[in-house]
Structure 1
Amino acid sequence: MNIIVLKMGGSVLAKLPDSFYKMVVDLKKQKICQPVIVHGGGPEINQALKQLDVETEFVDGLRVTTKKVLDVAEMVMSGSINKKIVGKLQKEGGTAIGMSGVDCSLLQTTPVDPEGSLGFVGKVENVNVSWLELLIENGAIPVISPIGMDASGQRYNINGDMAAAAVAQTLKGKLALISDIPGVMENISGKEIVHKQLTNEEIEAKIASGIIYGGMIPKVLSALKGLTSGVKESVILNGLAPEDLKKYMEGKPVGTKVILKREVQHV
């Protein structure tokens, strides 16, 4: 089974064309790959927090999550966003099922910071893969909201990129972080270029120099962490160009592939 986990962040969700969802459904129907979707919801969560007058802040791209913020994040992601994605896939002829990491103890979670400075922000310790396999075997495209739960029943907000990496490594699949840009970009001599490949060392250097910043930091770090934990391959793709997803599955060079180290070129 050629599994690809598609992480769709909140900022790109509002921009994705219907043709992207059609491409996902078609790739499954043609048995080119088995898609599994993990989504975020940052902008919609921000909007809901503002409307409800709940304050929030970020530390290194991760949202500090109080109980109030957690309740809003769960409402927005597991509620409206999750069902919108399911609806769009089914409108294009797919069979999709929406669930959060709480359902069936799908994303078993512990706090990122036991000291509590980030609040209820979690990291995935284990993925209940048997439920995902059951859904996949029955022809579904799973759509996962990154809210997890620990053994005591406490819920946690999980960074979507990190949740997607955990799902991909458990399923031994590829990880595609869907963006609204063609990949990791850099202005070199006045010209915007897309890096076709970036290694661990190159990513660390570009974060340190500020070339990679903001929301792209957890993306590239999750892509790297996935590689060291069993993900077959990590790539950042442009969801606004749905054909890029098909090209990637066909082995063509699109987006930014994140690799641990470059292969030595033998002359």
Structure 2
Amino acid sequence: MNRPFLVLKCGGSTMEQLPDSFFAAIADLQQSGQPLAIVHGGGPAINALLSLLQIPARFVDGLRVTCEQTMQVVEMVLGGSINKQLVRRIHQAGGRAWGVSGVDGALLTARRTEKPLGLVGEIEQVDTAVIRAILQGGYVPVIAPLAVSRDGGICYNVNADIAAGAIAAALQAEKLLMITDVPGILGTDEDGGKTLLRETSPDQIKAMIAAGDIYGGMIPKVKAALDALKQGVKEVVICQGTAETLRDACAGKQTGTSVKGVVVA
């Protein structure tokens, strides 16, 4: 495992849309000796089960408010059905995958956020030993963004983008790919229309957030990208989930929106 790590974050809203060829590309990367880890979300599936159980879903700045009832649903969906669905699809494509959550082996430890979000955790530490053991066993780690308190008594919901950024930084990954349902970050062209930004910087992202051009669920994505850069990840790519996109990103070709640069606090 001397090659640089690659971390993929697969958004919950995109997983049903990911084609078989995308998972075949993951299997090909694994078989070529590329060390990679996958972190996933599961928002739509969580919302569907909450609705079925008549538990209201609430969000603040794109982040889920997680009460105790909601936490039980989050843990079932992220650590259960969604995680195993991804594992199965990788196996079907010819790869080998092992599903875990951040609770397993205390992979992710967190403290409760001070924001009014309930049982949402802010990551304090990433223990990469579990990830490396899975990789050494010949599997792709598929990680659900759940975390545990230091004393092991509380399970926290963690935003998947933030978890992916922290895991990428801890693995000293060369690249973090944020797989989403949009082609990348959209800017405004001279005619006032939307256009894909091929490259952007931390300063430009901060200006776009302040101007309202980046909003909603894209805010935690770009903030996680900035956190990853700040912690040493060389590049974050926000892109759609296709085999071509994945292969291009691994080959160093331009795809989606590339975020690079020095983050100034």
TM class by smaller structure: over 0.9
The equivalences for 1:80-91 within 5 A come to 80-91=81-92
- 1:75 to partner: Cα distance: 0.5
Aligned residues: 258
| 4+ runs deviating over 4 angstroms | none
- 1:119 to partner: Cα distance: 0.5
Q: Which has the larger displacement, 52-61 or 79-88?
A: 52-61
Aligned residue type for 1:46? N
Q: Indicate the RMSD between aligned Cα atoms, in angstroms.
A: 1.5
Identity value in percent: 43
The equivalences for 1:30-109 within 5 A come to 30-31=32-33, 33-109=34-110
Secondary structure of the residue that 1:11 maps to in structure 2?
A: coil
CA distance in 2, matches of 1:127, 1:207: 28
CA distance in 2, matches of 1:28, 1:184: 28
CA distance in 2, matches of 1:167, 1:227: 12
Unaligned regions of 5+ residues in structure 2, if any? none
- Which residue of 2 is the match for residue 193 of structure 1? 195
Aligned residue type for 1:12? T
Q: Which has the larger displacement, 181-190 or 160-169?
A: 181-190
- 1:186 to partner: Cα distance: 2.7
- 1:260 to partner: Cα distance: 2.5
- Which residue of 1 is the match for residue 116 of structure 2? 117
Secondary structure of the residue that 1:142 maps to in structure 2?
A: strand
Question: Of residues 29, 50, 56 in structure 2, which corresponds to 1:27?
Answer: 29
Unaligned regions of 5+ residues in structure 1, if any? 263-267
Cα deviation 1:216-258 (Å, max 9, x = unaligned): 111111011100012232111210x321111111111111111
- Which residue of 2 is the match for residue 216 of structure 1? 218
Q: Confirm or deny that 1:204 pairs with 2:206.
A: yes
- Which residue of 2 is the match for residue 255 of structure 1? 256
Secondary structure of the residue that 2:138 maps to in structure 1?
A: coil
CA distance in 1, matches of 2:250, 2:116: 40
CA distance in 1, matches of 2:22, 2:58: 32
Q: Confirm or deny that 1:7 pairs with 2:9.
A: yes
The equivalences for 1:117-266 within 5 A come to 117-152=116-151, 153-173=153-173, 174-188=175-189, 189=191, 191-239=193-241, 241-260=242-261
TM-score after normalising by structure 1: 0.93
Aligned residue type for 1:138? G
- The answer on whether the counterparts of 2:145 and 2:159 sit within 8 Å (CA) in structure 1 is yes
- Which residue of 2 is the match for residue 265 of structure 1? none
Q: Which has the larger displacement, 22-31 or 4-13?
A: 22-31
- 1:58 to partner: Cα distance: 0.8
- 1:192 to partner: Cα distance: 3.7
TM-score after normalising by structure 2: 0.93
Aligned residue type for 2:170? T
CA distance in 2, matches of 1:87, 1:244: 22
CA distance in 1, matches of 2:43, 2:143: 15
Aligned residue type for 2:224? S
- 1:176 to partner: Cα distance: 0.8
CA distance in 2, matches of 1:43, 1:210: 25
Cα deviation 1:25-55 (Å, max 9, x = unaligned): 1112123x22200000011111111110112
Secondary structure of the residue that 2:14 maps to in structure 1?
A: helix
CA distance in 2, matches of 1:102, 1:77: 11
